[in-house]
Amino acid sequence: MASAVRIQREPFDAGAEIRALTEGRTDIGAVVTFSGLCRDEGGALSALELEHYAGMAEEELERVAAEARARWPLQGATIIHRYGRIAPGEDIVLVVTASTHRRAAFEAAEFLMDYLKTRAPFWKKEHRADGARGDWVAAKDDDDAAASRWDSKKPG
């Protein structure tokens, strides 16, 4: 199975990543992509600074991808996560899943996002537009709940 995990400072190209998974293949019926973008929170933020634990971040994303492959019949999965300073409107994270069937591609993409949010060692710090000291983004209970719903759920 085509599978790639990348951690990079540079932007990525979702279209190119979709093509990389599907080109030359005739057995894929469904490709789902998720792009997570930096929001400016109504103009309050000038950027997000993404810190990561180099080494562990790659390994954790590989573990999350392996877990998705074990749960759903995937023909491909790509995870790209950026670090460094990211301006509003720019991409932060990309997940692409390819499968014969749409439900598997949708569920696996949502699983990858839920899991990586609570397991991949990345932290966001806000840069405020007004120059005031920015805070570290707090983890959301929602994200823990979203990740834990997969603990008991079997692929449909």
Positions in the binding site for another protein (CB under 8 A): 36, 50-53, 55-56, 59-60, 81, 92-93, 113, 116-125, 136-139, 143
Residue with tokens 């570290």: 136
How far is residue 41's CA from residue 7's CA, in Å, rounded to a whole number? 25
Name the burial class of residue 95, with classes exposed (0-12), middle (13-18) and buried (19+) by CB atoms within 10 angstroms of its CB. Answer: buried
Choosing from 2, 20, 146, 147, the residue that interacts with a copy of itself (CB under 8 A) is: 146
Footprint on residues 60-99 left by a copy of itself (CB under 8 A): 88-89
Residue with tokens 């397991």: 119
How far is residue 28's CA from residue 13's CA, in Å, rounded to a whole number? 20
What's the min distance (Å) between Cβ of 99 and another protein? 15
39 contact choice in another protein, a copy of itself, none (CB below 5 to 8 Å, kind-dependent)? a copy of itself
Name the residue nearer to another protein (CB basis): 18 or 81: 81
What's the min distance (Å) between Cβ of 88 and a copy of itself? 4
What's the min distance (Å) between Cβ of 110 and another protein? 12
Number of residues that bind a copy of itself (CB under 8 A): 37
How far is residue 143's CA from residue 60's CA, in Å, rounded to a whole number? 17
How far is residue 144 CA from its own chain's centroid? 15
